[in-house]
Amino acid sequence: MIKLKQVSFSYGDTPVLHHIDLLVQEGEMVALLGPNGSGKTTMIKLLSGVLRPTTGDIHLDGSILSRMKRRQVAQRVAVVPQQFSMPFAFTLREVVLLGRTPFLSLFSDEREQDHRVVQQAMERIGIAALKERFFNELSGGERQKAILAMTLAQEPKVLLLDEPTAHLDINHQVEILDLVKRLNREQGVTVIGAMHDLNLASLYFDRLLLLKEGRIFADGTPEKLLTPETIKEVFAASVQVTQHPLTKSPHVVVIPKQSPLE
C-alpha cells in the first residue's frame, strides 16, 4: 500500500528525515513513536502529500505520490490532525460532509449517495444523534469523533493519525482508538499513527516504528521493541516493562529520576 524509498526531508537547511526506507502492507496498523523532533509529524505530512520529499520517492498503491493530483490522493488517504479548527458555524453533519469533497466536481451539489455515506459514517462512529449540534459547541472527544467520521466519509484506503488522542481524557482516548481499530479490522483500512503514549501504542498497534533523530531506529512488534534497553536508547528514559494484566501486551512503567518521596 505504501512504500518509501530513500526518503529525506529538510525544512530549508534543517534536515528532519534521513534516507527512510519503509514498506507498509494493506491492512496494517503502524504506530510512529519517538521523542519530540524525531520526525513523526513530518512523516505524516509526507505520507498525506502535504509535503514533498527533498529526495526519494513515496509510492501510494503503486503510484508515485508526488505525481498524483490532490483529488486523487484525497480519495485514498484521510488524515486525523492534532488540531482541527472550524471558523464557521458548521453543524457536525456539515463537517462530516466535508469528507465527500474529493468526490464532488466543482460547484456541484452533493448526491444522494454522498448524504447516505455521511449518515452511515456518523452512525458507525456513534454520533448521529449530535448531527445538528454546532461543531464548535462539542466537547473535545465529540469533535475528535466528528473528525474521524469526516475521514470515514472519504472512504479512504489509508488513515493517517497525527496524535489522535492529544488533549483527550483517558475515556475518550480509548473510545477513539477502539473506533480506529474497528475500522481497521472491519474495513481493512491501513492505519499509520504518530503516537506519544507508548502504552496505548502497545495496546492498539501491531507494528511499531521507533524514530530517532530523523531515522528509523527500530521496526517490529510491541513485544520486540518495548524493552527497557530500547526505550532508554530512544527516549533517554528509565523504565520497567511489565505485561498488561488482560492483553499481556508490554506495559511501560516510568522510573522517576528523583524519588517522589525525596
The pLDDT assigned to 3 comes to 96
The pLDDT assigned to 219 comes to 96
Q: Decide: 213 and 34 in contact? Cβ < 8 Å.
A: no
The pLDDT assigned to 259 comes to 62
106, amino acid identity: L
Q: Decide: 26 and 157 in contact? Cβ < 8 Å.
A: yes
Tell me what percent of the residues of the chain surpass a pLDDT of 70: 96
Q: Decide: 33 and 195 in contact? Cβ < 8 Å.
A: yes
> How is 121-181 classified by DSSP, letter by letter?
HHHHHT-GGGTTSBGGGS-HHHHHHHHHHHHHHT--SEEEEESTTTT--HHHHHHHHHHHH
End-to-end CA distance of the chain: 52
Name the CATH superfamily for 1-76+156-225.
P-loop containing nucleotide triphosphate hydrolases (3.40.50.300)
pTM of the model: 0.90
Minimum mean pLDDT range among 50-59, 85-94, 117-126, 226-235: 85-94
Query: With 70 as the cut, is the pLDDT of residue 89 above it?
Result: yes
Query: With 80 as the cut, is the pLDDT of residue 21 above it?
Result: yes
Q: What is the pLDDT of residues 99-147, one digit of tens each?
A: 998 888 766 667 888 899 999 999 988 899 999 999 988 888 888 889 9
Name the DSSP class of 68.
S
The single residue listed with the C-alpha cell 444523534 is 129
pLDDT band of residue 260 (cuts 50, 70, 90) is low
Q: Could you give the CA distance from residue 51 to residue 46 in angstroms, rounded to a whole number?
A: 5
- The sign one gets for the Cα dihedral 160, 163, 168, 174 is positive
pLDDT band of residue 261 (cuts 50, 70, 90) is low
Q: Which three cell numbers stand for residue 86?
A: 472550524
Q: Could you give the CA distance from residue 234 to residue 125 in angstroms, rounded to a whole number?
A: 35
Tell me what percent of the residues of the chain surpass a pLDDT of 90: 68
Q: What is the pLDDT of residues 167-226, one digit of tens each?
A: 888 988 998 899 899 989 998 999 999 999 999 999 999 999 999 999 999 999 999 999
The single residue listed with the C-alpha cell 455521511 is 118
Domain range summary for the chain, segments of one domain joined by +: 1-76+156-225, 89-154
The pLDDT assigned to 150 comes to 92
Q: Could you give the CA distance from residue 56 to residue 262 in angstroms, rounded to a whole number?
A: 51
Q: What is the pLDDT of residues 148-172, one digit of tens each?
A: 899 999 999 999 999 888 888 898 8
Q: Stretch 70-94: mean pLDDT, rounded?
A: 85
The pLDDT assigned to 223 comes to 96
Q: Could you give the CA distance from residue 201 to residue 171 in angstroms, rounded to a whole number?
A: 16
How does the average pLDDT of the chain come out, rounded?
91
Q: Which three cell numbers stand for residue 105?
A: 466536481
